[in-house]
Amino acid sequence: MSPNEDRLVRNTTLTVMALVVLRLVAAAWTPLTFDEAYYWIWSKHLAFGYYDHPPGVALVIRLGTMIAGDTELGVRLISILLALPMSFAVFRTAEILFGRRVAANATILLNVTLMAAVGTLIVTPDSPLLVTSSFVLFFLAKVLESGRGAWWLAVGVATGLALASKYTAMFFGPAIVIWLISVPKLRRWFASPWLYLGGLTALAVFSPVILWNADHHWVSFIKQLGRSEVIQFKPAFIGELIPTQIAFATPFVFVLGAMGLYALSRRDGGALASRALVNAMFWTITLYFLWHSLHARVEANWFAPVYPPLAIAAAAAVDVTLWGRRSQRVVNFCLRWASPVGIVMFACLILQANTGILTGFRRDATVRSVGVGWRTLAANIEATRARVGASCVLAPDYGTASWLTFYLPKGTCVIQPTQRIRWVNMDEPDPAKLSGKLLWVDEVRASIQPYVAQTFAKVGRVGEFKRMRGPLVIETYALDLLEQPKRPVLDNSPPPELQ
């Protein structure tokens, strides 16, 4: 390794580590989102599947809380640290395909996107998916570089782990087939047992998730795969998709990525096998979600597995020779400003989510999902629960139930009495705790919830408390004392998708 290359690797490593430290600081400061609190409960009851997703996110949180405890940092610790192996995989992939300079740029460009910064800070199934998808790409590059069939087993392991993180990874199979077909010299793998052994390896790694679903009425598969059903076309959703991806990629990385994907579609954009791999891994998933957006909303984080190939394409845009003088100036400008702009956007987002100061303390997209104000609110709820002698706290939805479980004193009985399929891996609550006084916590509404009216003969308001972010009232919660149940407190009716 030359001195220049050594310096390039060292600077890239230091940059990634500095960004990881920044995320760790933000993680310790920022309250949990309701989804994170929900997944944290999963981590206390590890299983091979859950109602919403496979188990990858629960294991990631469990490992973090074993180190740093049941804190915001503990919940997020391993997810943030996964950026380190993710960065290694992207660096090595880009180095194999396009060289070391592209590798360094790709690694940094990926880490300054909000998809990587927020996507590893806020722990969701996309966190382990992002790192496993990076390794799928890396091991495919190793297949290309070495020509050795044994690397297909590594591809299988990475794909199986990706599937155990989120079912979006099912698109890796078609993407790999498209790559092999589009490159004549790679078609020989269709006659090799290694390719099929890799597929069987992926199936073996993923098989516990399949078995869990088989034992639970295929509920997780039905819930997630049911999203693909086309009920009616609503093309307006595509108008949401593009701006959110520009924001999640950050504007300059998005421009570089678009230019890089264009460059990799041309013969003078590099070797065919390298170009085809990046394009197949990017476009197979992207085209599906573009189609999906014609009839349903596509959440910004769903694109997580295409960001490693997008970052490599963005970095490749810098090194190709096909640009004219004006286009090259655009590339150079975007590369110069991509990192500082991405870091500033991340810092502003964290500052806004925690304080609201950047919008003058008005409402924004983060205000309901991030649990700012929950510590104070939970203290008021606990004081009321103790005062009225309630043995258990009930909540109408999984988000409120999860926040209550995390922020109320450890061991407090908290239950979502409906949608019990969400809690199928947890022990059923002690019947004795459901036979006395119960405290219902819900947002203030014009009328009482049907479940409450149909289940309890006596309902009385015992308090109202506001969740605040600075001077902004996010929500006002009503606390109702429930007594004299007329039917079982737990509603075990199946969800609509299983009826």
pLDDT at 229: 64
Contact (Cβ atoms closer than 8 angstroms) between residue 379 and residue 405: no
Contact (Cβ atoms closer than 8 angstroms) between residue 17 and residue 56: no
Q: Which band of pLDDT confidence, cut at 50, 70 and 90, is reported for residue 225?
A: confident
Pick the residue with more confidence: 323 or 155?
155
What is the C-alpha separation between 475 and 399, in angstroms, rounded? 14
- Please name the amino acid found at residue 169: A
Q: Which residues contact 7 (CB under 8 A, 6 or more apart)?
A: none
Q: Strands of 456-469's sheet, edge to edge? A: 414-415, 392-394, 438-443, 472-485, 456-469
Contact (Cβ atoms closer than 8 angstroms) between residue 300 and residue 124: no
Diameter of the chain by CA atoms? 79
Count of CB atoms situated within 10 Å of the CB of 28: 14
Residue 355, CA distances (Å) to 37, 115, 376 in order: 20, 22, 15
Q: Is the pLDDT of residue 179 over 70?
A: yes
Q: Is the pLDDT of residue 499 over 70?
A: no
DSSP assignment string, 56-125 = HHHHHHHHHHHHH-SSHHHHHHHHHHTHHHHHHHHHHHHHHHH-HHHHHHHHHHHHHSHHHHHHHHS-ST
pLDDT at 230: 63
DSSP-assigned beta bridge partners for residue 441: 479
pLDDT digits (tens, 9 = 90+) for 25-44: 999 999 999 999 999 999 99
Q: How far apart are the first and last CA of the chain?
A: 62
**Average pLDDT in the 137-152 region?**
97
178: phi then psi, degrees, rounded to nearest 5: -60, -40
pLDDT digits (tens, 9 = 90+) for 419-428: 999 999 998 8
Task: Please report the sign of the dihedral spanned by the C-alpha atoms of residue 419, residue 420, residue 426, residue 427.
Answer: positive
Task: Please report the sign of the dihedral spanned by the C-alpha atoms of residue 409, residue 413, residue 419, residue 423.
Answer: positive
What is the C-alpha separation between 138 and 30, in angstroms, rounded? 33
Determine whether 14 is exposed, middle or buried from the number of CB atoms within 10 Å of its CB (0-12, 13-18, 19+): exposed
Q: Is the pLDDT of residue 496 over 70?
A: no
What is the C-alpha separation between 391 and 208, in angstroms, rounded? 37
Contact (Cβ atoms closer than 8 angstroms) between residue 331 and residue 252: no
**Average model confidence (pLDDT) across the chain:** 94
pLDDT digits (tens, 9 = 90+) for 390-449: 999 999 999 999 999 999 999 999 999 999 999 999 988 888 889 889 999 999 998 889
Return the C-alpha torsion angle 248, 178, 163, 27, nearest 10: -20
What is the C-alpha separation between 316 and 110, in angstroms, rounded? 13
pLDDT digits (tens, 9 = 90+) for 306-340: 999 999 999 999 988 788 889 999 999 999 999 99
pLDDT digits (tens, 9 = 90+) for 232-261: 677 778 888 889 999 999 999 999 999 999
Q: Is the pLDDT of residue 213 over 70?
A: yes
pLDDT digits (tens, 9 = 90+) for 359-384: 988 998 888 899 999 999 999 999 99
Contact (Cβ atoms closer than 8 angstroms) between residue 96 and residue 141: yes
Q: Is the pLDDT of residue 494 over 90?
A: no
3-class state of residue 418 by DSSP: coil
Q: Which residues contact 161 (CB under 8 A, 6 or more apart)?
A: 56, 128, 132, 135, 205
DSSP-assigned beta bridge partners for residue 439: 393, 481
Contact (Cβ atoms closer than 8 angstroms) between residue 90 and residue 107: yes
Contact (Cβ atoms closer than 8 angstroms) between residue 332 and residue 280: no
pLDDT at 329: 94
Query: For strand 414-415 and strand 392-394, is the pairing parallel, antiparallel, or unpaired?
Result: parallel
Q: Which residues contact 192 (CB under 8 A, 6 or more apart)?
A: 149
pLDDT at 389: 95
Percent of the chain at pLDDT > 90 equals 83
Q: Is the pLDDT of residue 1 over 70?
A: no
**Average pLDDT in the 74-85 region?**
98
- Please name the amino acid found at residue 430: D
Q: Is the pLDDT of residue 95 over 70?
A: yes
| Pick from 62, 76, 63: nearest CA to 27 | 76
**Average pLDDT in the 350-358 region?**
95
pLDDT at 322: 80
Q: Is the pLDDT of residue 498 over 70?
A: no
Contact (Cβ atoms closer than 8 angstroms) between residue 57 and residue 165: yes
Q: Is the pLDDT of residue 227 over 80?
A: no
What is the C-alpha separation between 156 and 363, in angstroms, rounded? 45
Return the C-alpha torsion angle 296, 297, 298, 300, nearest 10: 180
Contact (Cβ atoms closer than 8 angstroms) between residue 285 and residue 168: yes
Angle between helices 272-292 and 251-263 (to 10 degrees): 120
How far does Cα 350 stand from its chain's mean position? 17
Task: Please report the sign of the dihedral spanned by the C-alpha atoms of residue 23, residue 27, residue 30, residue 34.
Answer: positive
